[in-house]
Amino acid sequence: MTSKMPDCATARARVVIESVSPVVDGGRFPAKRVVGDTIDIAADIFADGHDELAAVVRYREPGRRAWLEIPMSLLTNDRWHATFEAVVPGVHVFSVEAWVDPYKSWATKLAKRVAAGQDTTVDLQIGARLLKEAADRAKAKDAMRLRRLATTLHPKDGSRTAAETTAQSEETIALASKYADRTHSSVSPGSYAITVDRARAGFSAWYEMFPRSCSPVQGQHGTFRDCESRLSYIAEMGFDVLYLPPIHPIGVTARKGKNNAVKCTRGDPGTPWAIGSAEGGHKSINPLLGTLEDFQSLVRQSREYGIEVALDIALQCSPDHPYVKQHPDWFRRRPDGTIQYAENPPKKYQDIYPLEFDNDDWQAMWLELRSIFEYWVDAGVRVFRVDNPHTKPFAFWEWLISSLKEKHPDLIFLAEAFTRPKVMYRLAKLGFTQSYTYFTWRREKWELEQYLTELTQSDASEFFRPNFWPNTPDILMDYLQEGGRPAFQSRLVLASTLSGNYGVYGPAFELCVNVPREKGSEEYLNSEKYELKHWNLDDSRSIKGLLAQMNSIRRSHPALHRTNNVRFQHVDNNQLIAYSKHDALSGDLVLTIVNMDYRYAQSGWIDLDFDDLPIQDNTVLRVHDLLSGATYEWRGRRNYVALDPQVMPAHVFEVLMPGSADTLSGDDAPVRRHP
């Protein structure tokens, strides 16, 4: 509180603007959207007294100097909103401006006087003056029109009825309000930002693959050319992002052997995350994989299949990395003079040196690390998976990502940060496009419902864009170990329908590899991180067909292109989880039901609630299972479901509301009635 008298502008700005959205941390960070999204701007707007108000959203697209304005409309209880479509990637800036609308306020009072049968002669004179003042601010044609309207408010025959009608017409009010006096308008405190990413940032299917395991010859190191031969297989499954672990030279010193053995044996290839050798560092390619030209060929060939190559950037070094000799101050040394290798007790990574960001040469180091990304951007990469970003300074990532996206707004960064929630959220605020999540470990129904509610209905939904992974090279969760094929199937359906972005580590995923290194471990036995693999892609146990089916379903149904539209449905069996997704623009409605029990068949009654789509007791629905092709006829809100995990642990239903039966996919499928 202050006793200081405000300046004139502040004193005469009567309108209050509060609770602007979408705003992250008071405007410190941008909210996030993707191209094609409808951006909804809202704010609480009110003033003293009973005057009518007007408000606009002022926004500027990236690369443009001109500000655009769109009028806001009142929703309810002083909450106003406006929408515009995101059409270009980059940072959009917006603010809210509001003012008292003198003519509309006058017209509202006039209507009350007319309804009460009162004399309006003086009121019409006031209205005429307001129209003339608006004319002075208007453009040529509108100015002439406003002056003509002003004369009609001085009726020569003494009859005020026609003048009152003209004064209150929507056309007159709109024209006068268009040129209202905004000298004493109020503006939201500062401008706010929205980062608009390209569509793939919000909807993507990732497939992780080790290039060195792509050779058709068992025991032979794979190459980028071998990867090209694998592209048709990946495309047939419907993936649009091919994520490669680090492709750089691998260190020899302290190289790990099979199953993370401290000592390697002859022929052990080492882990790709131990980056750097005499052959180069982060801007070099492991010669066993091929050349830069070979890599660029893979990038081009992938695009022919509609696939983007994502590259793993791990900002760490093997003891043989050129940085170790060139920049010894970039690493932390122990009292005995040796460099501290990476540790995450009880795990030890003797083959990896972490970079020491708290050093006197930090500026040169930051610039060099950014140049790594720039190098691969120049090589054609637009998608990066970043390893362990939570172990590097927040300020570094904010600077690096923003500076890179200034020139390349189409870049996508996936944060591999399995850490505390607030740290994960901070990285997302700083600029990471997508984020790994706790989905990998959420195996119970209540856990998934609680976690998705947090991600989609809290403030995190404005900036945290989840990417769901059932498995990774580092994580073989216990559910998959225990449940085998049915567990892999159910986790696939959950990941691909709950989140707009999801990914799998293959071919281990489609082949349902689920043997841990030892009991209680999330590490794979004979992990691909430490040895070459020769995968039998035609194994009869493969669920590649289901992967292809789910990715096809995702592409065909706009309701599945987003994460934040999930709505959980009540089922009276805790082993069954059900949720719907609705796309209002297309009318697409998808209902997914998954049996969480990989051992036994489960059944129950589902109570449907589809928000603004009412269902009465006599409403007849047709639900078409996009997995089996079967069509069922349901009646009313409460319906029966049963799922056997040994057959298929999930339904993915296209829901047909009454009156839209002729649009059903596979409409000629037989109709079955559930009890």
φ/ψ (deg, to 5) at 341:
-80, 170
In the predicted model, residues of the chain with pLDDT beneath 50 are 660-675
Q: What is the rounded CA–CA span in Å between residue 405 and residue 357? A: 22
Q: How far apart are the first and last CA of the chain?
A: 67
552-558: long-range contacts, CB 8 A cutoff, minimum separation 24: 552/238, 553/626, 553/627, 553/652, 554/203, 554/205, 554/238, 554/496, 554/497, 555/238, 556/665, 557/583, 557/588, 557/590, 557/626, 557/654, 558/583, 558/585, 558/586, 558/588
The distance from CA 576 to its chain's CA centroid, rounded to whole angstroms, is: 27
In our burial notation (b when 16+ CB lie closer than 10 A, e otherwise), range 101-129 reads bbbbbbbebbeeebeeeeebeebbebbbe
Given this chain, do its domains 8-101+188-196 and 560-673 carry the same CATH topology?
yes
Q: What local confidence, expressed as pLDDT, does residue 567 receive? A: 97
Q: Which residues are bridge partners to 70 per DSSP?
A: 57
- State the DSSP H helix or E strand holding residue 16, giving kind and residue range, or none if neither: strand 15-21
Q: Are 153 and 167 in contact (CB under 8 A)?
A: yes
Q: What is the rounded CA–CA span in Å between residue 621 and residue 616? A: 11
Largest CA distance in the chain: 109
- Token digits for 147? 């002056």
- Per-residue 3-state assignment (H helix, E strand, C coil) for 433-493: CEECCHHHHCCCHHHHHHHHHHHHHCHHHHCCCEEECCCECCECCHHHHHHHHHHHHHHHH
Sign of the dihedral defined by the CA atoms of residues 487, 489, 494, 496, in that order: positive
CATH class of the domain at 200-247+285-315+355-488+499-536: alpha beta
Q: What is the rounded CA–CA span in Å between residue 541 and residue 437? A: 28
Q: What is the rounded CA–CA span in Å between residue 323 and residue 315? A: 11
Q: Is-above-0.85 flag for pTM? A: yes
Q: What local confidence, expressed as pLDDT, does residue 11 receive? A: 66
Residue 149: Cβ within 10 Å count: 23
**Domain chopping of the chain, boundaries:** 8-101+188-196, 103-178, 200-247+285-315+355-488+499-536, 560-673
Q: What local confidence, expressed as pLDDT, does residue 154 receive? A: 82
Q: Are 626 and 586 in contact (CB under 8 A)?
A: no
The amino acid sitting at 543 is: I
- Give me the active site residues, please: 387, 416
Sign of the dihedral defined by the CA atoms of residues 274, 276, 282, 285, in that order: negative
Closest by alpha carbon to 554, among 309, 201, 239, 307? 239
Q: What local confidence, expressed as pLDDT, does residue 10 receive? A: 67
Which residues does 303 contact at the CB level (< 8 Å), separation at least 6?
none
The amino acid sitting at 216 is: P
The position carrying tokens 């036995």 is: 525
> What would the CATH number be for the domain defined by 560-673?
2.60.40.1180
- Per-residue 3-state assignment (H helix, E strand, C coil) for 77-139: CCEEEEEEECCCCEEEEEEEEEEECHHHHHHHHHHHHHHCCCCCHHHHHHHHHHHHHHHHHCC
Q: Indicate the CATH number of 103-178 among 3.40.50.10420, 1.20.58.80, 3.20.20.100, 3.40.50.11290.
A: 1.20.58.80
Q: What local confidence, expressed as pLDDT, does residue 644 receive? A: 98
Closest by alpha carbon to 353, among 367, 368, 333? 333
Architecture of domain 8-101+188-196: Sandwich (2.60)
Q: What is the rounded CA–CA span in Å between residue 667 and residue 626? A: 11
Residue 7 DSSP code: P
The distance from CA 430 to its chain's CA centroid, rounded to whole angstroms, is: 14
Q: What local confidence, expressed as pLDDT, does residue 158 receive? A: 65
Helix (H, G, I), strand (E, B) or coil at 260: helix
Residue 570 DSSP code: E
Helices assigned H by DSSP within 592-668? none
Which residues does 464 contact at the CB level (< 8 Å), separation at least 6?
424, 425, 428, 435, 455
Q: What is the rounded CA–CA span in Å between residue 225 and residue 290? A: 8
Q: What local confidence, expressed as pLDDT, does residue 614 receive? A: 79
